[in-house]
């Protein structure tokens, strides 16, 4: 047998085989022990690492509550929209796809490129509040790395007529102005959350669980009547344009409930498109601006004097020669009237007569009365920017200041404060609490004047709108009306501007059983006419007549046409 045919016989040492077996068994034990340790002793750590990479907790948005008027008509609603966002480092698109994406998102190509560059490091919104149809076209582009999120966009059917009352929200659905801000907690609801699993490109592949359900916001019914609001806004806008006024404001109050049925301002803005909005457009002048109310304050001076037993409607006040000098300053009547009854002082709007009545009373009594009718205190509507107005402490009044306050100079009020104060005459001497939210029930007021004094003043204020009074243009067919004009020089840099006026009218109807109080103000009418009876009273007339018809209020006057008096029959207010 040759050596090549003899099989090679190799025998390994026994110790080496055993060592190999021991090493293998030891490695197995180590791996098994490590596996047991990782899966039982350190489970939380590993799960945390895994979840950090593949699970994510997402917000579940809540639907914002609707805002509706007293009749259920929508004033603010939320509509579904989409947000397009970029996953960090995940976008891979051709130049043609990027050009189409920029066009769909209404972005310039360079702006899109900048956002995509930012998205290499973090999540970036390419576009928010995108209409669902447009968002669907973005999906059709098939660009990896883009994802969409459900959002909502606030829509305001009333547009510019309701803007100052309703306000608006931010892109994140947070109230920024008006009722949207004031009632944020009720309207917003509570955001929920859910846990999802994502792949390595951050795409959601599975919904794991709903952690906390979203709680939708609650709907809010306002006191506003949409039809009366539109009527008031239209009449105010026409007057501002006709008289070339700088601004205007109007408010309508329901006497029995204190509800605000309408509130409008000019200039205004469109809350659905705020691209060119300015600060002047945002101001809710009814609530946040103050002015000297002029002769609209004379009835309060007379009411206090009657309450103190110093005068009656028939008491004669000598106003001749039409001037009154106090401490070196002279008060004037535009049309001297000689001896007048107290009722005529209101009808003719005599500054001299009102000043003499004021000086017959302690200044502390006048100050207290102004405070009791709400001047110097915010009206308590809970609306952002409510102002107190200004009523100086009585101890600082000089005699001439007490005299001028009798006809609305040296005191500042907001239009909503002035309208509320006139509820004292409409409610038999009670001051009504106000509400922007629908209540529908009569409210208990605060006593200011006795019923007898309030009713006597109603008669005087009705005479003020009759021929020979200062506001015959405030009258309407079918209902008796009472009210008072105001025409005050504007304060600028501490002094009164010679040719700039605030023109106003405040009144109520029907006189027999008042249902509404309406206050109108025009800032700097500059088309030739500026008396409150000329520029503000006609707005009151138009809105009051339309509102009473809408509410179905019974007539208390003949349905015969009203003849407007000639210029010589109209008394011009003196302040």
**Using CA atoms, how far apart are residues 36 and 46, in angstroms rounded to an integer?**
13
Report DSSP letters for 126-191, one per residue: EEEEE-HHHHHHHHHT--TTEEEEEEEEEE-TTGGGTHHHH--B-TTS-B-SHHHHHTHHHHH-B-
Write the DSSP symbol of residue 106: T
Task: Kindly report the three-state secondary structure assignment for every residue of 37-57.
Answer: HHHHHCHHHHHHHHHHHHEEE
Neighbours of 133 (CB within 10 A): 8
Q: Which residues have a Cβ under 8 Å from the Cβ of 74 and sit 6 or more positions away?
A: 66, 67, 68, 157
* 504 within 8 A of 522, measured Cβ to Cβ: yes
Closest CA to 317 of 285, 340, 289: 340
Token pair recorded at residue 519: 């206050």
**Using CA atoms, how far apart are residues 483 and 323, in angstroms rounded to an integer?**
25
295 tagged catalytic? yes
Closest CA to 543 of 237, 134, 99: 237
| 13, burial (CB in 10 Å: exposed 0-12, middle 13-18, buried 19+) | exposed
* 548 within 8 A of 512, measured Cβ to Cβ: no
Closest CA to 251 of 306, 297, 289, 209: 289
Residues in the chain, overall count = 575
* 64 within 8 A of 217, measured Cβ to Cβ: yes
* 479 within 8 A of 504, measured Cβ to Cβ: no
Catalytic residue among 295, 350, 504, 541: 295
First to last CA, the chain: 145
**Using CA atoms, how far apart are residues 166 and 152, in angstroms rounded to an integer?**
17
User: What does R_g of the chain's alpha carbons equal in angstroms?
Assistant: 37
> Hey, which residues are catalytic here?
295
């Amino acid at each position: 047998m040759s050596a090549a045919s003899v099989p090679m016989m190799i025998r390994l040492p026994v110790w080496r085989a055993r060592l190999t077996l021991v090493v293998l068994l030891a490695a197995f034990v180590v791996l098994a022990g490590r596996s047991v340790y990782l899966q039982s002793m350190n489970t939380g750590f590993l799960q945390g690492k895994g979840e950090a990479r593949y699970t994510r907790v997402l917000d579940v948005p809540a639907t914002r509550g609707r805002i509706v008027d007293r009749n259920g008509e929508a004033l603010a609603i939320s509509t579904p929209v989409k947000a397009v966002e970029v996953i960090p480092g995940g976008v891979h698109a051709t130049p043609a796809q990027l050009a189409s994406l920029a066009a769909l998102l209404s972005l310039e190509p360079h702006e899109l490129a900048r956002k995509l560059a930012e998205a290499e490091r973090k999540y970036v919104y390419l576009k928010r509040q995108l209409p669902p149809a447009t968002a669907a076209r973005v999906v059709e582009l098939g660009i990896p790395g883009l994802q969409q999120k459900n959002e909502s966009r606030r829509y305001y059917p009333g547009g510019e007529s309701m803007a100052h009352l309703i306000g608006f929200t931010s892109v994140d659905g947070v109230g920024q102005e008006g009722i949207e801000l004031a009632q944020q907690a009720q309207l917003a609801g509570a955001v929920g959350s859910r846990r999802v699993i994502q792949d390595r490109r951050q795409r959601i592949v599975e919904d794991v669980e709903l952690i906390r359900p979203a709680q939708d916001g609650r709907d809010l019914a306002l006191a506003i009547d949409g039809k009366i609001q539109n009527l008031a806004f239209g009449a105010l806008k026409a007057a501002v344009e006709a008289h070339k006024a700088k601004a205007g404001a109007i408010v309508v109050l329901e006497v029995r409930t204190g509800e605000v049925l309408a509130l409008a301002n000019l200039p205004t803005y469109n809350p659905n498109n705020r691209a060119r909005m300015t600060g002047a457009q945002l101001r809710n002048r009814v609530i946040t601006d103050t002015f000297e109310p002029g002769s609209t304050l004379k009835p309060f001076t007379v009411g206090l004097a009657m309450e103190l037993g110093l005068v009656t409607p028939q008491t004669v006040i000598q106003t001749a020669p039409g001037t009154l000098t106090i401490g070196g300053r002279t008060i004037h009547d535009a049309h001297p009237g000689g001896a007048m009854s107290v009722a005529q002082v209101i009808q003719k709007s005599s500054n001299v007569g009102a000043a003499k009545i004021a000086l017959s009373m302690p200044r502390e009594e006048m100050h207290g009365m102004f405070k009791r009718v709400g001047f110097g205190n915010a009206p308590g509507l809970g609306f952002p920017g409510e102002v107190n107005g200004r009523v100086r402490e009585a101890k600082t009044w000089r005699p001439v200041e007490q005299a001028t306050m009798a006809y609305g100079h040296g005191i500042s009020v907001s239009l909503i404060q002035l309208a509320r104060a006139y509820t004292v005459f409409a409610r038999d001497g009670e001051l009504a609490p106000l509400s922007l939210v629908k209540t529908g029930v009569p409210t208990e007021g605060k006593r200011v004047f006795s019923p007898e004094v309030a009713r006597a003043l109603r008669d005087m204020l009705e005479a003020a709108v009759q021929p020979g009074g200062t506001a015959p243009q405030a009258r309407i067919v079918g209902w008796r009306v009472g009210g008072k004009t105001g025409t005050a020089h504007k304060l600028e840099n501490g002094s009164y501007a010679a040719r700039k006026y605030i023109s106003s009218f405040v009144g109520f109807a029907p006189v027999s059983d008042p249902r509404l109080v309406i206050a109108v103000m025009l800032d700097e009418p500059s088309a030739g006419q500026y008396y409150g009876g000329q520029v503000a009273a006609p707005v009151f007339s138009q809105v009051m007549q339309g509102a009473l018809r809408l509410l179905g209020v019974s007539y208390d006057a003949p349905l015969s046409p009203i003849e407007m008096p000639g210029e010589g029959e109209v008394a011009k207010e003196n302040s």
